């Protein structure tokens, strides 16, 4: 019943080849990460609209931060695989994936900037509140761009979601 080493090695090589990262796989992963970030951002809005308690809001924000961290990792993976090669992607998929990558990077940057500025403001002046409001407006714009980019990618690769 035990497998011989030769059979095991062949099976391992086949699995390694099947699991080898591709640019298309990284782009699809980026899509799913971006969609989840958008979903979590909408969830934060619902929790705020419902005026839920601080504990629930903090939990939702924690999940959102985790999703952005995963999105950052997905962006890095896509960049690592895609820098210098299209890896066989057709023109439409390649453009949609790159647009998604740009929108994802911008959203993650804006999300992190809001968190940093918010954390630094225990006491704030009206000017600092204005700056924070601008950061949140820029983040809202980045969310819209990310949603648009995910929709465009899904049009090209509906099977990716």
Q: Is 35 exposed, middle or buried (0-12, 13-18, 19+ CB in 10 A)?
A: buried
Residue 142 CB neighbours (<10 A): 22
Going by pLDDT thresholds of 50, 70 and 90, the confidence category of residue 15 is very low
In the chain, the percentage of residues whose pLDDT exceeds 70 is: 83
Name the more confident of 13 and 154.
154
Which residue, 132, 111, 118, 29, is CA-closest to 64?
A: 111
pLDDT, tens digit (0-9, with 9 covering 90-100), for 100-132? 999 999 999 999 988 887 766 666 667 777 888
Give the phi and the psi of residue 79 in degrees, each rounded to 5: -60, -45
Check: pTM over 0.85? Answer yes or no.
no
Ranges of H-type helices in the chain:
5-19, 23-49, 54-82, 91-120, 126-156
pLDDT higher than 60, residue 23: yes
pLDDT higher than 50, residue 30: yes
CA angle 124, 129, 133 (to 5 degrees): 155
DSSP structure class, residue 160: G
Map out the domains of the chain with their CATH numbers. 22-160 (1.20.1440)
In the chain, the percentage of residues whose pLDDT exceeds 90 is: 68
Residues 104, 130: Cα–Cα separation, whole Å: 25
Taken as a whole, the chain contains a residue count of 161
Which residue, 69, 18, 22, 38, is CA-closest to 154?
A: 38
């Amino acid at each position: 019943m035990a497998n011989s080493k030769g059979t095991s090695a062949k099976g391992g090589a086949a699995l390694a080849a099947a699991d080898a990262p591709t640019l298309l796989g990284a782009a699809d992963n980026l899509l799913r990460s971006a969609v989840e970030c958008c979903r979590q951002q909408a969830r934060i809005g619902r929790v705020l609209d419902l005026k839920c308690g601080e504990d629930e809001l903090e939990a939702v924000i924690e999940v959102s931060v985790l999703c952005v961290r995963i999105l950052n990792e997905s962006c890095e993976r896509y960049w690592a695989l895609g820098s210098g090669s299209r890896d066989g992607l057709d023109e439409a998929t390649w453009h949609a994936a790159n647009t998604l990558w740009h929108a994802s990077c911008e959203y993650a940057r804006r999300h992190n900037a809001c968190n940093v500025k918010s954390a630094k403001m225990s006491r704030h002046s009206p000017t600092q509140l204005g700056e924070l409001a601008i950061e949140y407006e820029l983040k809202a714009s980045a969310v819209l761009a990310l949603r648009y980019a995910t929709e465009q990618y899904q049009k090209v690769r509906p099977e990716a979601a």
